[in-house]
Every structure is written in structure tokens, then in C-alpha cells.
Chain A
Amino acid sequence: MSWTTKACCSAKPLVLVAAAFLFGCDVWPRDTFGTTDQVRSGGVLYAGLSPNPPWTSMTDGHPGGVEVELVEELAASLDVEVSWTEMNESGLAEALRARQVQIGVGGFHTGMKSSARFTRSYVDYKGRKHVMAVPHGESRWLVIVESWLHDKGDLVRRELEAEEAEAAS
């Protein structure tokens, strides 16, 4: 019994020190497979797109839609170019798992079954919580994407409502 007491008392300050140390680092959390570093050092963000208007579309090799705009803006904030590839939903999930693309969009929402890692939802639209997809195990990249998206919800909703009103009239 006494060894547990000792271990407990000596573990607490250690954990505190470790936590304080880690709070000081801005490179934390890290990726498992280095997606963030690849994007930054390569200067290109490989993005997969599964057409699903009004979120995403591909006309004559030109990507469009609100989520495409969002990814373009994210890339601009990271100072990199976007390289788009069109694929279907399951192909996109596969490409994400193989880390051939670093982000996937296609009007995904939390109600969908997918083997991809979804971000937290960034907008509630028509009762659906919409998300983007990223590779598994990449905490730093996930934090970058989610932090970028977290305050874009209202903007996206307004844009979509405006588009809908335009189409109706």
C-alpha cells in the first residue's frame, strides 16, 4: 500500500512540470505522419473533391462551391497552392487513408458513414452538421483545419442562403 502512496505523490508534480513544459511549446500537438510539414514545405495542398453542389462542383476541370472557396482561403492563409483532384466519395476516403490528399471536401456531414476522419462540424445547414475530411492520426493538421473553419459557419450559411434565393428568383 505504501508504494502506491509514494508513487502517487511523486507522480503529481512530475505531471505538472511536464504539462507546464508542453504549454510553452507552440509545436504541440504534432502529426503522426507529418502532413502539416509536407503541406508547408511542399508549398502545395493536395485536395480531393467529390462533386456535391452547392458545396462542391467540378465543371470543365474548374472546381467550385463554398467548400472549395474555404479550402482555397485556408491554403492562402498557409501560403500554399491548392492542387485539386476529382474523385468519388469512397475514392476520396481511400486517398485520405493513403495520405495522397491532405484534405477532402464534398458536402460531407456527420450523418454520413465514412472511413475518413471528419473534422468537427463547422456549419449547421438544413439540419445537417457539415464537416471536411482529413487524414487519420494528424492532430496538428486537424487543429489547423478546425481552427480555420471554426468561425466560418455564419459566412457559409449566408452565402448558401443567398445562392438559394437567387436560384428561386
Chain B
Amino acid sequence: MRRTREFRFPKQQRKVFAQATQLVRILVLATSISAVLFYLVKGKSSAMQAAWLESLVTLLPAMIFLITSQFSRRFPSGRFPYGFHRAPSVGYLGGSVVLLVAGAYIVLSSVFSLAQAPPPAIGIAVILGEPLWLGWLMLPVLLYDMIAMSMLGKAMLPLGEQVHDKQLHAIAEMAKADWLSDAAAMVGVIGIGFGIWWLDGVAAIVIGVDVTKDGISNTRRAVEDLMDATPTTVDRKQVESTVPEVAEYLRSLPWVDDASVRMRDEGHAIFGEGFVVPKPGTADLVDKLHEASEHVARHHWKMAELSIVPVRRLPAHLEIEDPPLPYFEFVRERGTMMRRTLKRLLPRVIGDRGKEG
């Protein structure tokens, strides 16, 4: 069986990828420290409990990335002729589902305890023989997590883009957005401090919703990846430029009448087919095909392998489609639609009633 060409990052990207992996290691370390600190100071606050659970489950995608990215550039084998580029995507799906389940658990248990459990109170810890209110320890721990996560997330975000790694991008995005849960937990702790006990439960619900949101959007993305969606930029806002560029290049060749492409993204490597209709009587077709595929390999590092197939007619042509709106923008769009419809309908309904009255 033929195996795919070995995929290697260009020099610049290799350096960036090593840097990014290092940052993920630091992220794992920083998050582990947060998890331990949260556990030590969480007391009876459900917001702190939620923050602790969150730090545990967000540790998962980062750790999965570290493990699977070791596999991903392994040499293709007889058993896995397409290579191991999908390994991180598979891990990513697993991590996202865990995030989703954990988020739902945090929401449900927080709602339950807000409705049923007695109001929480925070007591003391004894540090070097001196009693100290635990809240004074919770707030700095939350502040540490907030600063560490947003700094690491901000540093990682551009790197994920440069190496076209969606998992890296997702991890960076989650870390960067983590300040929201920390801020929510702070509000919960301060709430207990002011005797506004329910703020703690509300903060825990906010954290749970945040985790669930991450779980939903990441599961959706992981499924898209595994379903061979057209390659997109790492932020998934538009089609990866390699796709139309390669199609354009094939169409521009003097011996080609028409051409189209079909591509899929396997991690940071894009695989796919280019279909070309050679002009009648083209000589040395094999050499020309070879030349074209070499050109693409030289000019598009994200393209791991392009099989160029000469055909009589193009297969039923599909327009390259932009990715859909991210989930929550999609929901928002739906909301606006409903509001608009309601606005149009309500005056009629009310107006009719008014006439009757």
C-alpha cells in the first residue's frame, strides 16, 4: 500500500510549534497548581468547588494535546497509511465531551444546592498558628489563576494560528476566556463575605454554564474536523486560503481546461484531490501532473498531499463553502430573527384586539 508523503513543518513553523508545546506544558503546570490550591482553600463555597472542577477538566484538553501531538507526526505505517495526523482530533473530541459532561454536572449540582442546600459560610484556616479567614486565601488564588491563564492564553493564541493547529487554538482560547470563571468565583466569595449567600451559588452556575459552552462549541468543532469539513483558518471563521489558491493555480495552468479541488484538514496538514480536465491532445501528461503537484508542495506547506487526478469531465461541481457561524452567534442570529418576526406579528395581534375592545 502506498503511504502518504511525510509531513514536516517548514523551519519557522517547527520552531513555533516547539514554542507552543512548551507553553502548553507551562499551562498544564500552572493549571495543576491552581487545581491543588483551589482544592486546599475551597472550603464550603460552591463557586470555589466549581472553579476547582473547572481547572481539573480544562487540564484535560491540554494534557491530551501534549500526548497526541507526540503521535501526530509519526511516520505513516502499513496499517495507518494516511499517517497519524488525526490523533489530536480524536483526543480533542474526547476532551470536549468530558468538558460538556462536567459543565452540565456543575450547572445541575449548583442549581440543586442553590435551591436545597443551606446557605454556605466560609470559616478560617490556620496559617503558622494564626487564624485567617479562608476568603483571604481564595481571592489571591483566584487572582493567580486569572492572571496566569489569561497571560498564557494570550501568548498561545497567535502561535496556534501560525502552525495552523486548531487544538492549540482552542486550548489558548479557553485559557484566555478563563478569567470570566475566576471573576465569577470572586464575586461568589465576596458575596459570602457580605452575607449575600446566594451569590456563591449563582457564581457556580455561571462557571458551569461557561464550561458547558466550551464543551458544546469544542465538541461541535471536533466533530466537524472528523467529518472532513473543508479546511478553515484556526479561528474557523473562513475557508483556509490554501483551498481556493490551489484550485486557482490548477485552473491557471496552460494545459488545463478546467479544475476543481476537494480537501480535508487532518490537524495541521491538509490532504485532498485536485481534478483537472487536460486540454485535448496534451502531451507528457504524467510529467505535467508531477510538476503541478511539486509546485503545490513547494508553495503551500499546509498541504501535506495533493493527488491530482486527470478527468474527462469535472465531478459535479461544489462551491467552496464558508464555515457556518459559531454556535452562539448562530443562536444570537436566530434570536434576532425571532425578535424581528415577533415585532412584525405582535402589532397585528395587539392591533386586532384593540379594535375589538
Q: Which A residues are within 8 Å of any B CB, using their own CB? A: 4-5, 8, 11-12, 15-16, 18-19, 22-23, 28-33, 97, 115, 117, 119-120, 134, 136-143, 146-147, 150-151
* B195 in complex: contacting residue of A11, A30, A147, CB < 8 Å: A30
How many contacts between A and B, using CB within 8 angstroms? 88
Q: Quick one: CB contact mask for B178-217 with A, threshold 8 Å, 1 for yes?
A: 0100010010001011111100000000000000000000
Smallest Cβ distance from A99 to chain B, in angstroms? 11
Could you tell me the distance in whole angstroms from the C-beta of A94 to the nearest C-beta in chain B?
A: 12
Q: Are A19 and B139 neighbours in the complex by a CB distance under 8 Å?
A: yes
Query: B139 to A29, Cβ gap below 8 A?
Result: no
Chain B residue contacts of A134, Cβ below 8 A: 121
The residue from A11, A30, A143 contacting B124, defined by CB atoms under 8 A apart: A143
Point out residues on B near A: beta carbons under 8 Å: 44, 118-124, 126, 129, 131, 133, 135-136, 139, 143, 146-147, 150, 154, 176-177, 179, 183, 186, 190, 192-197
Whether the pair A11, B129 counts as a contact (CB closer than 8 A) is: no
B124 touches A147 (CB 8 A): yes
* Cross-chain contact B190 with A137 (CB below 8 angstroms): no
Q: Are A143 and B147 in contact (CB under 8 A)?
A: no
Q: Which residue of B lies closest to A122 (CB)?
A: B126
CB distance from A115 to the nearest CB of B (A): 8
Q: A117-B118, A136-B118, A137-B119 are in contact. Are A29 and B131 (CB under 8 A)?
A: no
Contact with B197, one of A4, A32, A140, A151 (Cβ below 8 angstroms):
A32
Query: B126 contacts which of A22, A29, A150 (Cβ < 8 Å)?
Result: A150
The answer to whether A143 touches B190, judged by C-beta atoms less than 8 angstroms apart, is no
What is the chain A residue whose CB lies nearest that of B139?
Answer: A19
Question: In the complex, what distance in Å separates the CA atom of A138 from the CA atom of B150?
Answer: 34
Instruction: Tell whether, in the assembled complex, residue A22 and residue B190 are in contact, meaning their CB atoms are under 8 Å apart.
Output: yes
Q: Please, how many angstroms separate the alpha-carbon atoms of A117 and B197 in the complex?
A: 14
Contact A18 B190 (CB under 8 A): yes
Assuming the A-B contacts A29-B133, A137-B197, are A11 and B183 also in contact, with contact meaning beta carbons closer than 8 angstroms in the complex?
yes
Given contacts A29-B193, A97-B118, A147-B131, contact A120 B123 (CB under 8 A): yes
B136: chain A residues at CB < 8 Å are 23
**Cα of A103 to Cα of B5 in the assembled complex, Å:** 74
Contact across chains for B143 and A138 when beta carbons are under 8 A apart: no
A15 to B141, CA, bound (A): 13
CB distance from A73 to the nearest CB of B (A): 16
Q: Given A32-B197, A146-B131, does the pair A138, B147 have CB atoms closer than 8 Å?
A: no
Chain A hits for B186, CB < 8 A: 15
Least CB separation from A139: chain B residue: B121
CB contacts (< 8 Å) of A33 on chain B: these are: 195
Minimum C-beta distance from A147 to chain B (A):
4
Contact A139–B143 (Cβ < 8 Å):
no
CB-based contact B120/A120 at 8 Å: no
The distance in angstroms between the C-alpha atoms of A139 and B122, with both chains bound, is 5
Are A139's CB and B146's CB within 8 A? no
Question: What CA separation (Å) do A5 and B150 show in the bound complex?
Answer: 9
Residues of chain A lying within 8 A (CB to CB) of residue B126: 150
Indicate if the CB atoms of B118 and A137 lie closer than 8 Å: yes
Query: Which A residues are in CB contact (< 8 Å) with B118?
Result: 97, 115, 117, 136-137
B123 touches A142 (CB 8 A): yes
